[in-house]
Amino acid sequence: MTIEPRLRDELLALREQVRHFQGGMVASADGMVIAHDLADIEPDGLAALTAAAIGVAKRLTEATGQGGFEESLTRGTGGYVAAYAAGRRAVLTAVAGPDTNVGRLHLEARRAAERIGALVDGGVPPAHGGPPPAREQPRAGEAPR
């Protein structure tokens, strides 16, 4: 079974969770479409543009000492385009209208990007609804909590 249906489910969930969400795409970091939910946007072109934008964003964060790339947000007169790192090999691109609650978009897309990254990187994704709680590892001689 391919992971594409599970990725499309994540994109459809974003539509339900974020008002004015217009569509999304999962692409490889080098610009190849993996899955999308875009009606009026050509996915191959968007994937290529996202890869180029991510390349610039990575250089920008590194040059300013801000660490590795995590996300980028572009605001235009007609809405937003956001890109989120999704694991080691993929990017989630989200397109949303001008009335979108950007905080809500970030919250839900970050969670989705984490699950998508786990799927693409070959791991087991966290349960839908957020990352699993962190567990502290017991120190030598301590009982687990």
| 3-state SS, one letter per residue, for 8-34 | HHHHHHHHHHCCCEEEEEEEECCCCEE
Instruction: Of 42, 37, 45, give the one whose Cα is nearest residue 15.
Output: 37
The pLDDT assigned to 124 comes to 53
pLDDT band at 2 (very low <50, low <70, confident <90, very high): confident
**Residues 117, 111: Cα–Cα separation, whole Å:** 10
DSSP for 68-118 reads S--EEEEEETTEEEEEEEETTTEEEEEEE-TT--HHHHHHHHHHHHHHHHH
Q: What is the pLDDT of residues 89-108, one digit of tens each?
A: 999 999 999 999 999 999 99
Confidence at residue 60, expressed as pLDDT on a 0 to 100 scale: 95
* Model pLDDT, residue 3: 84
pLDDT for res 135: 35
Q: Mean pLDDT in the chain?
A: 87
pLDDT, tens only, 11-58? 999 999 999 999 999 999 999 999 999 999 999 999 999 999 999 999
Q: What is the pTM of this model?
A: 0.82
